[in-house]
Structure 1
Amino acid sequence: MARKPVVKKLVSFLDVILEAPHPPTLEPPSETSRSLLNVPIHALLLIWSYFSFGLTRDVAGTMARMIPNLILLQIGYAYVLLSKGKTKRTKKKGRGNDNVLIYASLFVALVASIPIFSVLVLFGSPLYDHLKETYLLALHLSFLIIYPLLVVYQYDLEVWFNLATFNVDSLAQNPVYVSSVAAFVGAWLGVFPIPLDWDRPWQAWPITLLVGSYLGYFVGGVVHYFL
């Protein structure tokens, strides 16, 4: 009995391999259109509100009372980003999916405040004397920095690893990433005025870190717009 030729089988097998989709590679994060609407102007409004409502007189109380305002403004900002952005979401995902993403990310940002609090403590933040203020700072940073990143980049672990390495392409493409990095830098710079012996009310922990993060968040959006 004659053997069947295997050449055609081998060729067809190679065709399947060549035509099969390749494993997904890590593409640059999604871009958003260059618009003044992407600049987080509400960060300046929040800074003014904090001092107007007595941040220097009652640090913990003011930070706690302003959390709902921060969340509401960040939700509005998230809708702007999703409406203006060129995300990788398919066209089948409509407004309902945006709502799920926006409000589910609030819960994730709330949970993320715990590791941020741990990092602040590990880097020398007061633990016993200002425990409440330190956690409220972590909560503000999470809703300010982590939340918009969750909305724009969603939950792709490869993309988040790319963000954690401060990828230059990512930094140049998306105002949300620029603002988040600038907010982190602003919070870090806010540490330096605290030990100075000026005895100013605004030097109380963690006012300068809080204001520095908000200023950095706004400045990052402005810098990206003019790049």
Structure 2
Amino acid sequence: MYSISILERIKLNYSMTTIGVIIVYTFFIQFVPEILWLTVLFFILAECFKVSIIQKLYSLDTANNTDGNSRKRRGNKVAESAKFGLLMILTVFFFAFICIILGAPAFENYEKTLTLSSLLTSLTLFPISLIVGVSGTISILLTDSFELVNVTSQAFLRLLKRNAYLVIFGAFIGSVVFPLDWDRPWQIYPIPNIVGAITGQMIGAFYTLFETMVNHKLGKKQH
């Protein structure tokens, strides 16, 4: 009998919890539709929950091919936490800068731009940093050659990177509704971008779920 692999379990776990989190969010947002920063907090907590569950269940080895050290064994925890916070802040401002370059108001509604950029950070770089740490994340940003020693961990990292691309693409596509003269409440910046980013993550989760199920069935046929 062909049993489900650890990697398949990880992918199913992550994709199903992601879908579940977004479903919960759709109910949550009905009670606080005007408080956008709660969306950021919600997804930060959700990503912490998903990644911690997977790490505890499967004990992912995050040693990389460069120095062979695990994120858990690196440096002082206080210094690592400070670097982590700095990286997240810089990423937030980077996304905010990109939003302004693409047409977001520079000073008017700046808090909304920071909310959107914070959400993008929490759905892209944040979960990756939880897995590989600050040094690993910087290596990923600067080079394509960063790889983890463990094949399963590397595959999960690729999943997170693909989801990050889909989140950014979804946020960008969300901008297409701004020029439309519909005067709908949900057209107000940055709601379409937020919806687009979350939709991108949802698409990534469904794709991973479908891909894993198809590969599992093909594996069963081969055995």
| TM-score, normalised by the number of residues in structure 2 | 0.68
Match of 2:215 in 1: none
1:202 and 2:186 matched: yes
CA distance in 1, matches of 2:59, 2:161: 13
The 1-side partners of 2:203 and 2:27 are apart by 16
**Distance across 1 between alignment mates of 2:132 and 2:191:** 29
Conservation of the 8 A alpha-carbon contact between 1:171 and 1:177: no
Instruction: Report the equivalent of 1:66.
Output: 39
Alignment of 1:96-175 (within 5 A): 105=84, 108-154=87-133, 155-156=135-136, 157-162=138-143, 174-175=158-159
Tell me the equivalent position of 1:192. Answer: 176
Q: Which amino acid aligns with 1:71?
A: I
Aligned-pair identity (%): 16
Partner of 1:79: 52
Larger fraction in helix = 2
Which amino acid in 1 is paired with 2:158?
N
CA RMSD in angstroms, aligned pairs only: 3.3
Once residues 127 and 82 of structure 2 are traced to their aligned partners in structure 1, the CA distance between those partners, rounded to angstroms, is 11
Q: Highest Rg: 1 or 2?
A: 1
CA offsets, 1:50-108, max 9 Å, x none? 24312xxx3xxx112333322222211121342337433399969798xx578974553
Deviation larger for 129-138 or 66-75: 66-75
Q: 1:186 to 1:119 in 2, by over 3 A?
A: same
Q: Given residue 62 of structure 2, which amino acid in structure 1 is its aligned partner?
A: K
- Which TM-score applies when normalising by structure 1? 0.67
- The one-letter amino acid of 2:206's match is V
- Go from structure 1 to structure 2 and tell me whether the alpha carbon gap of 1:111 and 1:44 turns closer, same or farther (over 3 Å shift): farther
1:222 aligns with 2:222: no
| Separation (CA, whole Å) in 2 of partners of 1:172 and 1:68 | 24
Asked if structure 2 preserves the Cα contact closer than 8 Å seen for 1:178 and 1:221, the reply is: no
